């Protein structure tokens, strides 16, 4: 399941990305998840609940792209970071 997109949604053009990031963190906390670590500069955080761990990220990409270059692409062996 590494690198699998579970959920995605588009953002409106000009969205306040800081607000989107903080709102996403609060939503996951309210859902019973614990935030383990985050990087506001890259727009991602890791959270866990009942032994399950997830990475949530805000990426400028199509989640259905065959060759993602953002988020967890490097975790699944997909993407071409060296190119």
Model pTM score: 0.68
In a domain, 51, yes or no: yes
Residue 27 lies in a domain: yes
Q: Can you give the residue range of the structural domain that contains 44?
A: 17-75
- Give a yes or no: residue 82 inside a domain: no
Dihedral angle over CA of 19, 21, 23, 29, nearest 10: -160
DSSP state of 73: G
On the question of pLDDT at 80 being above 60, the answer is no
pLDDT digits (tens, 9 = 90+) for 34-58: 999 988 788 899 999 999 999 998 8
The number of domains in the chain is: 1
**The pLDDT of residue 46:** 93
Residue 7 included in any domain:
no
- Whether the per-residue pLDDT at 28 is higher than 90: the answer is yes
């Amino acid at each position: 399941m590494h690198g699998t997109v579970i959920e995605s949604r588009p953002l409106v053009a000009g969205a306040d990305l800081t607000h989107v990031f903080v709102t996403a963190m609060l939503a996951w906390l309210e859902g019973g998840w614990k935030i383990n670590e985050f990087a506001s500069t890259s727009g991602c955080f890791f959270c866990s609940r009942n032994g399950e761990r997830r990475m949530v990220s805000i990426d400028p990409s199509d989640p259905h792209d065959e060759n993602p270059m953002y988020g967890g692409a490097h975790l699944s062996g997909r993407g071409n970071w060296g190119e």
